[in-house]
Protein backbone atom coordinates (compact mmCIF):
# COMPACT_ATOMS: atom_id res chain seq x y z
CA UNK A 1 0.00 0.00 0.00
CA UNK A 2 1.32 3.44 -0.87
CA UNK A 3 1.30 6.20 1.69
CA UNK A 4 -1.32 8.92 1.36
CA UNK A 5 1.33 11.19 -0.08
CA UNK A 6 1.97 8.75 -2.94
CA UNK A 7 5.34 7.98 -4.51
CA UNK A 8 8.04 10.62 -4.24
CA UNK A 9 11.12 11.45 -6.22
CA UNK A 10 13.35 10.08 -3.45
CA UNK A 11 11.40 6.81 -3.24
CA UNK A 12 14.21 4.97 -5.03
CA UNK A 13 16.51 5.57 -2.02
CA UNK A 14 15.35 2.75 0.19
CA UNK A 15 11.75 3.96 0.19
CA UNK A 16 12.51 7.28 1.97
CA UNK A 17 10.91 10.51 0.83
CA UNK A 18 12.56 13.95 1.01
CA UNK A 19 11.50 14.33 4.67
CA UNK A 20 13.07 11.00 5.66
CA UNK A 21 9.69 9.22 5.94
CA UNK A 22 9.07 5.84 4.31
CA UNK A 23 7.19 6.42 1.09
CA UNK A 24 5.80 2.89 0.99
CA UNK A 25 4.31 1.74 4.25
CA UNK A 26 2.23 -1.41 4.20
CA UNK A 27 -1.02 -1.89 6.07
CA UNK A 28 -1.15 -4.09 9.15
CA UNK A 29 -2.96 -6.67 7.02
CA UNK A 30 0.20 -7.04 4.89
CA UNK A 31 2.29 -7.87 7.99
CA UNK A 32 0.79 -11.36 8.04
CA UNK A 33 1.19 -13.77 5.15
CA UNK A 34 -1.83 -15.04 3.25
CA UNK A 35 -2.29 -18.55 4.56
CA UNK A 36 -3.65 -19.85 1.26
CA UNK A 37 -0.27 -18.96 -0.30
CA UNK A 38 2.07 -19.25 2.70
CA UNK A 39 0.68 -21.62 5.35
CA UNK A 40 4.11 -22.48 6.74
CA UNK A 41 6.05 -25.72 6.46
CA UNK A 42 8.31 -27.53 8.92
CA UNK A 43 11.69 -29.11 8.37
CA UNK A 44 11.14 -32.89 8.67
CA UNK A 45 14.73 -33.23 9.92
CA UNK A 46 13.96 -31.22 13.08
CA UNK A 47 11.91 -32.83 15.85
CA UNK A 48 11.39 -32.27 19.54
CA UNK A 49 13.60 -35.31 20.15
CA UNK A 50 16.59 -33.92 18.26
CA UNK A 51 16.54 -30.16 18.95
CA UNK A 52 19.76 -30.45 21.02
CA UNK A 53 21.60 -31.65 17.91
CA UNK A 54 19.82 -29.39 15.40
CA UNK A 55 18.24 -25.99 16.10
CA UNK A 56 19.85 -25.55 19.51
CA UNK A 57 23.37 -25.94 18.07
CA UNK A 58 25.05 -22.63 17.26
CA UNK A 59 25.42 -22.27 13.48
CA UNK A 60 22.77 -24.86 12.57
CA UNK A 61 20.55 -22.43 10.66
CA UNK A 62 23.49 -21.15 8.64
CA UNK A 63 24.10 -24.70 7.43
CA UNK A 64 20.57 -25.03 5.99
CA UNK A 65 19.77 -21.46 4.89
CA UNK A 66 18.92 -21.24 1.16
CA UNK A 67 21.07 -19.17 -1.17
CA UNK A 68 20.35 -15.50 -1.81
CA UNK A 69 19.82 -16.35 -5.48
CA UNK A 70 17.06 -18.80 -4.57
CA UNK A 71 15.30 -16.43 -2.19
CA UNK A 72 15.63 -13.40 -4.51
CA UNK A 73 14.07 -15.28 -7.42
CA UNK A 74 11.26 -16.53 -5.18
CA UNK A 75 10.76 -13.04 -3.72
CA UNK A 76 10.20 -11.57 -7.20
CA UNK A 77 7.56 -14.19 -8.00
CA UNK A 78 5.84 -13.91 -4.64
CA UNK A 79 5.69 -10.09 -4.63
CA UNK A 80 3.66 -10.39 -7.83
CA UNK A 81 1.63 -13.31 -6.45
CA UNK A 82 0.75 -11.27 -3.35
CA UNK A 83 -0.25 -8.36 -5.60
CA UNK A 84 2.00 -5.81 -3.92
CA UNK A 85 2.25 -2.57 -5.89
CA UNK A 86 5.74 -1.86 -4.57
CA UNK A 87 8.04 -4.21 -6.49
CA UNK A 88 11.37 -3.05 -5.00
CA UNK A 89 13.05 -6.14 -3.56
CA UNK A 90 14.79 -4.14 -0.83
CA UNK A 91 11.41 -3.22 0.67
CA UNK A 92 10.80 -6.88 1.58
CA UNK A 93 12.57 -9.64 3.43
CA UNK A 94 12.00 -13.09 1.96
CA UNK A 95 11.25 -14.56 5.34
CA UNK A 96 10.54 -17.99 6.71
CA UNK A 97 7.09 -17.93 8.29
CA UNK A 98 8.17 -20.75 10.61
CA UNK A 99 11.76 -19.63 11.20
CA UNK A 100 14.72 -21.92 10.69
CA UNK A 101 15.52 -21.34 14.37
CA UNK A 102 12.44 -23.34 15.37
CA UNK A 103 12.47 -25.95 12.64
CA UNK A 104 10.94 -24.20 9.66
CA UNK A 105 11.45 -25.67 6.21
CA UNK A 106 14.38 -23.86 4.58
CA UNK A 107 13.29 -23.98 0.93
CA UNK A 108 9.55 -24.63 0.68
CA UNK A 109 7.68 -21.75 -0.98
CA UNK A 110 4.89 -22.60 1.50
CA UNK A 111 7.21 -21.37 4.26
CA UNK A 112 8.76 -18.35 2.53
CA UNK A 113 7.01 -15.06 1.83
CA UNK A 114 7.84 -11.45 0.91
CA UNK A 115 7.51 -9.84 4.33
CA UNK A 116 7.27 -6.04 4.12
CA UNK A 117 10.00 -4.22 6.01
CA UNK A 118 7.84 -1.16 6.75
CA UNK A 119 4.38 -1.76 8.22
CA UNK A 120 2.01 0.53 10.09
CA UNK A 121 2.65 0.25 13.82
CA UNK A 122 6.17 -1.12 13.36
CA UNK A 123 5.03 -4.68 12.59
CA UNK A 124 7.55 -5.24 9.81
CA UNK A 125 10.38 -7.70 9.39
CA UNK A 126 12.44 -6.38 12.31
CA UNK A 127 9.60 -7.02 14.77
CA UNK A 128 9.18 -10.58 13.51
CA UNK A 129 12.88 -11.20 14.08
CA UNK A 130 12.34 -10.52 17.80
CA UNK A 131 9.66 -13.19 18.19
CA UNK A 132 11.77 -15.64 16.20
CA UNK A 133 14.68 -15.18 18.59
CA UNK A 134 12.45 -15.40 21.67
CA UNK A 135 10.74 -18.60 20.53
CA UNK A 136 14.12 -20.15 19.73
CA UNK A 137 15.30 -19.33 23.23
CA UNK A 138 12.14 -20.72 24.83
CA UNK A 139 12.16 -23.93 22.78
CA UNK A 140 15.84 -24.61 23.47
CA UNK A 141 15.33 -24.00 27.21
CA UNK A 142 12.40 -26.43 27.26
CA UNK A 143 9.85 -23.73 28.14
CA UNK A 144 7.73 -24.12 24.98
CA UNK A 145 7.33 -27.35 22.96
CA UNK A 146 8.67 -27.15 19.40
CA UNK A 147 5.33 -27.96 17.74
CA UNK A 148 3.51 -25.33 19.81
CA UNK A 149 6.03 -22.63 18.87
CA UNK A 150 5.78 -23.60 15.20
CA UNK A 151 1.98 -23.55 15.27
CA UNK A 152 1.70 -20.22 17.08
CA UNK A 153 4.07 -18.33 14.80
CA UNK A 154 2.52 -19.84 11.67
CA UNK A 155 -1.03 -18.98 12.74
CA UNK A 156 -0.37 -15.35 13.71
CA UNK A 157 3.14 -14.15 14.42
CA UNK A 158 1.88 -10.83 15.79
CA UNK A 159 -0.27 -12.60 18.39
CA UNK A 160 2.75 -14.78 19.28
CA UNK A 161 4.85 -11.61 19.63
CA UNK A 162 2.33 -10.07 22.02
CA UNK A 163 2.15 -13.31 24.04
CA UNK A 164 5.89 -13.95 24.38
CA UNK A 165 7.58 -10.56 23.88
CA UNK A 166 4.86 -8.09 24.89
CA UNK A 167 3.09 -5.14 23.33
CA UNK A 168 4.97 -2.86 20.95
What is the distance between the alpha carbons of residues 5 and 153, in angstroms, rounded to a whole number? 33
- Main-chain dihedrals φ then ψ at residue 59, nearest 5 degrees: 90, -5
Is 147 a residue whose pLDDT tops 50? Answer: yes
User: Can you tell me the mean pLDDT for 84-98?
Assistant: 94
What is the distance between the alpha carbons of residues 112 and 104, in angstroms, rounded to a whole number? 9
Is 96 a residue whose pLDDT tops 80? Answer: yes
Q: What is the pLDDT of residue 76?
A: 96
Q: What is the pLDDT of residue 72?
A: 96
Query: What is each CA distance from 130 to 81, 99, 127, in whole angstroms?
Result: 27, 11, 5
Say which residue, 21 or 126, is predicted with more confidence. 126
Is 13 a residue whose pLDDT tops 60? Answer: no
Is 12 a residue whose pLDDT tops 50? Answer: no
What is the distance between the alpha carbons of residues 135 and 25, in angstroms, rounded to a whole number? 27
Q: What is the pLDDT of residue 21?
A: 54
Q: What is the pLDDT of residue 167?
A: 86
- Main-chain dihedrals φ then ψ at residue 102, nearest 5 degrees: -125, 35
Buried b / exposed e across 80-112, counting CB within 10 Å, b at 16+?
eebebebeeeebbbbbbbbbbbbbbbbbbeebb
User: Can you tell me the mean pLDDT for 125-129?
Assistant: 95
Give the mean pLDDT of the chain.
88
Residues 22-77: pLDDT tens digits?
567 899 999 999 999 999 999 999 999 999 999 999 999 999 999 999 999 999 99
Q: What is the pLDDT of residue 168?
A: 79
Amino acid sequence: MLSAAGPSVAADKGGLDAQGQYDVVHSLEDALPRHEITPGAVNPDVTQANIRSTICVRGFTKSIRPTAKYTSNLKRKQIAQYGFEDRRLRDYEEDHLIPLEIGGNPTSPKNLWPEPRHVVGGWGADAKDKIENELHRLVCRGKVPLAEAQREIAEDWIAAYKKYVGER
